[in-house]
A and B are shown apart, each in its own frame.
Chain A
Amino acid sequence: MKLNFTRVCCPSNFSTFIKPSLCTNLHRPLCSSSLSSSHTSLKPQIPLFLRPPMHSATVSDLQKWHDWAKCLASSVGTTFLDSDNGPDSSLLCRELKWLVEDTIEDHSVLSQMSIENGKRSVRLRAGVEDLYNMWKQRIEERKPFQYIVGCEHWRDLVLSVQEGVLIPRPETELIVDLVADVVSENEDLREGLWADLGTGSGALAVGIGRILGSRGMVIATDLNPIALSVAAFNLQRYGLQDIIELRQGSWFEPLKDVEGNIAGIVSNPPYIPSDNISGLQAEVCRHEPKLALDGGLTGMDYLFHLCNGAASMLKPGGLFIFETNGEQQCKCLIKYLESDLRGSFCNVDIVSDFAGIQRFLIGFRQQQT
């Protein structure tokens, strides 16, 4: 990963505070300099659809696997759905279709699969043996489909994901829309410094980075080195290494040098109450990282922490958007902002997701008078 200290198009008003900090990074081994791709122990996995088509199989072998996989998916029925709100057969069959799409190099084969003579050979990005294993893992171990294919389609992006990193959720897409709306009317924020705390796969940072364009700047932090290596892969794939800087550390810890200068803070922190984790659907509780899900006893440990931090880290007029578990957490946070952090923020509001759940808390840091 290329680091930011060579950033060419840094606006002059940032250079005053960012550039020095980037220089100090060079001397801090724990910071972003340790995250370069040369860090071999943390080489991110390549998503299936990006792997070279080194394997091949005859159409009939592929067809055989496909029939088996479909049969397995159908046998699930509504078992998973009934037990923990997991996927039903129809959903699994659609995933199977996507798995085939990601695996086969030449998609035209798909339409001919049943009529083509079986001897013809097809180039694949994974061997047929692997495919059997993958689908077994999907059905028998309930491994999330996104970990199987190593990617998640999120907004207009295809992001690399792997075990150890939270799979970005559709709800979270809306944060990028919210940011886009705000910056479309506010040049000061559009050209300011943004922070994505607990970036995971880097979804929010990449989404926002693309909205800000070359004049913006995003710092994405995460405690988890696997997450940072995946995020580095993703932002590089979208050519955002000059706009997004990755820093390792807990929440605001790696941002001390930019305190009071951040234009916007976004975060999808762990917000599930600890006791609820074990009852989640198997894909989530058995496979996704607890670090990214467990928000403490009430699920609100990190949300409180983020609100506290935002009160001092944001510049006056700066925006924060945090994802929450729903109405209860949102209302509780609003109360907290109105009591303990009174006077710090203005225009605080709750925004619902497309399912109508009050999902996001949003607000601006009070302008100084």
Chain B
Amino acid sequence: MSFLACRKSFGIYINSIYNRRTSFLFSSGSPISHTTTETPSGPIRFSHSVSENHMSPSRSPINRHGSHQIPLPSTPSVSEKPISTSGSPIFRREFSGFCSRAIPSSKNPCQFHQNPSILTPFQYFCTEAAVQHSTADGLTVEGIVTSNWPILDETESDWKSHAAAIAQSIHLIKKRLKWKKLVVRLDLLSMQLNKPDIWDDPVHAGKISREHGSLMGKMKAVRAFERELLEHIDMINLAREENDPEMESESLKALLRMRRNSKEKELQAMLSGEQDSCSCYIEVQAGAGGTESMDWAAMVMQMYKMWAQRRGYKVTVVDEMSGEIAGIKRATIKVDGEYAFGYAKAEVGVHSDSDLRIERFRAGGAGGQHVNTTESAVRIVHIPTGISATCQNERSQHQNKASAMAVLQSRVDQLEMARQAQMNAQHTQSLTDITWGSQIRSYVLHPYRMVKDLRTSYEVSDPDSVLEGDLDGFILSYLSASLDKDEDGR
């Protein structure tokens, strides 16, 4: 059981008047590292909490100018906030068993003994890792990747191009599966399973063999794919030698099929975590911040509902507590469907929006027609970080604002880069460790319109579509970035 508390990072934002921020609380019924789980069917749940202070999310174009509005009196109080972590275990127990699990990880250990791919004459667990397939003339998948054959369009009937594309996919898939670690882990599991006394503790043995089976399945799938590629290459070479155009064209077609198939396999490899195929819970939670924070919480919840529906998942509201005037204090939905967890895990973290405040610098008096001044300095504050920039040298307020914005942007970018570097350094096996407690996305509705993922820099200029659930771009870019940048996962 791992409950991750995000309140620490939350505290940074507590006193920012204009900030509207949402953070995910994430907990998993069965944690990523499978050392504590007894049953493989624990529910996965997310929670998502909204800071207590923020500007109205404003559906009308006018209210979008939240940053111009008078600050609302804030009543930040940590104790008033519902503590999501304490609520989570209750839900977990209530709903444990609801979770569907698609990974065929619960095989009977006996099945492994019948496994046809085991090459040794004895029933002996091994990883098959040492096996390096190659074609008749010694070409390996690695060899294809390193020879950098040009990859042409699918429509070009060039076997080398197809083979290169497939080999590259295999390369990426291995990276995503963390191949090297996979091999090491499999060796370790094999060693344990080969101990004669392993079944003295049947529970432990069952767990070990389940994991072994699951990892073995992944590895074999990749190996089989590799072998298929090399066999087709052999066939093409053979067909040429024997001058059999029909056979050559058959093999070429087969390569093309493989090439198309490999894209799907890449995606699957991205969601290769132990629980990625599970259904999950998503919880959105508003802090003690009054109506506006609850209003924003409702919008975020709506965003996830619509996202789930777009993906064809079944959405069930399992818990909802409405705000007194508008919005929700908290809500939990259950998202049923293949890989719901795998996708949704990318959303864990802090979401923030309207995080800029623009103010007239050295403002005073009644302003407007009362005053004639050439002073039109503007200060812009990036609320989550407190970074600000002021410009007073330009001759119009508009230009001062633009200059201040540029300065602020570079300062925030700089900080963000430092933060990213720090996060990369701390990067561990678990995705949730990376995202935990950190701001993952900002939603800016004014003075410009943008939703930006701070982890990947993926951004769109249309917040409305994002709030309507168009999240896949963010999710996929994050998943691929976090997996593919991994140095040498093979």
Q: Residues on A close to B: CB < 8 A? A: 85, 87, 91, 94-95, 98, 144-146, 152-157, 166-167, 169-174, 177-178, 181-182, 185, 268, 270-272, 276, 280-281, 283-284, 288, 292-293, 323-326, 347, 349, 351-359, 362
* 13 sample A-B contacts, Cβ–Cβ < 8 Å, listed by A number: A85-B365, A85-B371, A91-B374, A98-B374, A181-B61, A181-B65, A272-B369, A272-B370, A284-B370, A349-B63, A352-B65, A352-B68, A355-B367
A170 / chain B contacts, CB cutoff of 8 Å: 360, 376, 396-398
For B71, the chain A residues whose CB sits under 8 A away are 356
C-alpha gap A88/B430 in the complex (Å): 59
The 8 Å CB contact of A156, one of B64, B358, B371, B396, is B396
Inter-chain contact A169/B368, CB cutoff 8 Å: yes
Interchain CB contact under 8 A, A173 and B70: no
Measuring CB to CB, which residues of chain B are less than 8 angstroms from any residue of chain A? 60-65, 68-71, 358-360, 363-376, 378, 394-399, 446-447
Q: Find the residue from B365, B368, B371, B395 having the highest chain A CB count within 10 A.
A: B368
B60 in contact with A284 (CB, 8 Å): no
**Is A284 a contact of B375 with CB atoms below 8 Å?**
no
Least CB separation from A357: chain B residue: B367
In the complex the two chains form, is A283's CB within 8 Å of B372's CB?
Answer: yes
CA of A139 to CA of B9, assembled, Å: 53
The answer to whether A155 touches B62 (Cβ under 8 A) is no
Complex Cα distance A156/B397, Å? Answer: 9
- Which of the residues B64, B371, B397, B447 comes within 8 Å of A284, measured between beta carbons? B371
Inter-chain contact A347/B370, CB cutoff 8 Å: no
Q: A354-B68, A354-B363 are in contact. Are A144 and B396 (CB under 8 A)?
A: no
Q: Are A178 and B376 in contact (CB under 8 A)?
A: no
Question: What A residues does B371 contact at CB under 8 A?
Answer: 85, 169, 281, 284
Nearest Cβ in chain B — how far from A107, in angstroms? 15
* Residues on A with beta carbons closer than 8 Å to the beta carbon of B68: 174, 351-354, 356
Query: Is B65's CB under 8 angstroms from A351's CB?
Result: yes
A85–B364 Cα gap in the complex (Å)?
Answer: 9
A272 to B375, CA, bound (A): 21
Whether A178 touches B65, Cβ cut-off 8 Å, given contacts A354-B359, A359-B367, is yes
Whether A156 lies near B399 (C-beta < 8 A) is yes
For B360, list chain A residues within 8 Å (CB): 170, 353-356
Closest B residue by C-beta to A174: B68
Q: Closest B-chain residue to A294, C-beta based?
A: B369
Find out whether the CB atom of A358 lies under 8 angstroms from the CB atom of B367.
no
Considering the chains assembled together, what is the distance between the CA atoms of A65 and B360 in angstroms?
33
A280 — which chain B residues lie within 8 A by C-beta? 370
For B60, B63, B367, B372, the residue with the greatest tally of chain A CB atoms inside 10 Å of its CB is B372
Residues in A neighbouring B378, C-beta threshold 8 A: 354
Give Cα A153–Cα B397 distance, bound, in whole angstroms: 9
Are A178 and B372 closer than 8 Å at their CB atoms? no
Q: A204 to nearest B CB, angstroms?
A: 13
A113 to B369, CA, bound (A): 37
Take A170-B397, A182-B61, A349-B60 as given contacts and tell me if A355 and B369 are in contact as well, using a CB distance cutoff of 8 Å. Answer: no
Given A171-B368, A173-B396, CB of A355 within 8 Å of CB of B359: yes
Q: How far is the CB of B16 from chain A (nearest CB, A)?
A: 16
Q: Point out the residues of chain B lying under 8 angstroms from A144, CB to CB.
A: 372
For B60, what are the chain A residues with a Cβ–Cβ distance below 8 Å? Answer: 347, 349
Please provide the 7 A-B residue pairs with the shortest distance between their CB atoms, ordered closest to farther: A153-B395, A355-B363, A170-B397, A355-B360, A153-B396, A155-B398, A354-B360
The residues of A that contact B62 with a CB separation of less than 8 Å are: 178, 347, 349, 351, 362
Instruction: A359 to B65: give the CA distance in the assembly, Å.
Output: 13
Chain B residues with CB under 8 A of A284: 369-372
Cα–Cα, bound, A276→B366 (Å) = 11
Nearest opposing residue in chain B for A95, CB measure? B374
4 further A-B pairs in the complex, CB-CB below 8 A; given A169-B371, A169-B372, A347-B60: A154-B398, A170-B397, A356-B68, A362-B62
